[in-house]
């Protein structure tokens, strides 16, 4: 019995190098890598399409700011951190709202595009700065990072929230039946039940340069908010084409 419960050894978990994937995606198609719509592919993107792309970012930030205020009352951040900023779709409106915003991304191709913005209150860097921010944001990003790394990133992001600041962080935790055999799945959520995913497709079986999707343990993520001192939390479910998750809104009270 004890051999079954506590095996003598296990193979180490092999975490896919998604930073390398995003280096490829960022060089090839930096806008399509953020919003996977054919109109945002490099060969199709024109000035009108680029304007539409950034308009969606402003709409998103306006929505999330409204949700933060509805949940926690008056909220007027004066600085922001955008983790997984890509080409700055959310970072630009964050700077307009707060006065100063920092975008973080691993993709040099995306950062090169982001740095073309002519805005004095924008900064784009490769690693999370050791600073505090009034609003820490990460949307449609962590789902592309293996949870083995992602949990530590979340811990770091929450540590960067200033006193009385807030966080808006999105993770995915399950998939509809149509995605039952996809790599990175953790839970399958169908109309009748929730069950563990049993996909035979492993992330390292997928060719390099592909956009990976990963499910997180929502309980563990909420625990990270708890130990960071962010116990005032709201959760809003989201569904990205059968990839099911949550946007977590939190406030760090004094």
Q: Where residue 14 falls among pLDDT bands split at 50, 70, 90?
A: low
pTM, to two decimals: 0.90
Assigned domain for 8 exists: no
Question: Residue 92 in contact with residue 117, Cβ under 8 Å?
Answer: yes
What was the pLDDT predicted at 3? 32
Please state, in angstroms and rounded to a whole number, the distance separating the CA atoms of residues 127 and 223.
24
The per-residue pLDDT for range 114-161, each reduced to its tens digit, is: 999 988 889 999 999 999 999 999 999 999 999 999 999 999 999 999
Strand partners of residue 2: none
Q: Which two tokens stand for residue 59?
A: 């709409």
- Chain segment 34-88, per-residue pLDDT in tens: 988 889 888 898 999 899 999 999 999 999 999 999 999 999 999 999 999 999 9
Other C-beta atoms closer than 10 Å to the C-beta of 203 total 19
Compute the average pLDDT of residues 166-181. 95
Question: Is residue 38 a part of any domain in this protein?
Answer: yes
For strands 122-125 and 101-104, give the pairing.
Answer: parallel
Residue 85 burial by Cβ neighbours in a 10 Å radius (0-12, 13-18, 19+)? buried
Coil, strand or helix: which one is 185? coil
Count of domains observed in the chain: 1
Residue 3 in any domain: the answer is: no
For position 204, which CATH number holds? 3.40.50.150
Residue 112 lies in a domain: yes
Q: Provide the residue range defining the domain that includes 219.
A: 17-251
The verdict on residue 11 lying in a domain is: no
Q: Is residue 118 part of a domain?
A: yes
Residue 10 lies in a domain: no
148 falls within a domain? yes
């Amino acid at each position: 019995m004890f051999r079954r419960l506590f095996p003598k050894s296990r193979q180490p978990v092999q975490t896919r190098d998604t930073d390398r994937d995003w280096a490829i995606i960022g060089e090839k198609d930096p806008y399509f890598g953020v919003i996977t719509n054919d109109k945002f592919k490099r060969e199709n993107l024109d000035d009108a399409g680029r304007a539409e792309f950034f308009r969606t970012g402003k709409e998103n930030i306006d929505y999330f700011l409204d949700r933060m205020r509805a949940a926690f009352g008056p909220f007027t951040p004066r600085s922001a951190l955008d983790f997984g900023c890509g080409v700055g779709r959310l970072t630009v409106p964050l700077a307009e709202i707060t006065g100063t915003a920092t975008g973080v991304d691993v993709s040099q191709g995306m950062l090169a595009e982001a740095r073309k913005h002519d805005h004095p209150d924008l900064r784009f860097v490769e690693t999370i700065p050791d600073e505090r921010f009034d609003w820490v944001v990460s949307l449609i990003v962590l789902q592309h990072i293996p949870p083995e790394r992602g949990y530590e990133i979340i811990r770091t992001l929450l540590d960067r929230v200033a006193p009385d600041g807030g966080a808006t962080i999105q993770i995915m935790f399950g998939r509809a039946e149509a995605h039952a055999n996809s790599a990175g799945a953790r839970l399958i959520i169908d109309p009748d039940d929730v069950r563990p995913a049993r996909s035979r497709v492993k992330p390292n079986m997928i060719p390099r340069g592909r956009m990976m999707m990963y499910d997180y343990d929502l309980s563990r993520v909420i625990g990270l908010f708890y130990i960071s001192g962010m116990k005032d939390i709201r959760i809003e479910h989201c569904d990205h084409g059968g990839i099911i998750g949550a946007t977590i809104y939190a406030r760090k009270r004094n």
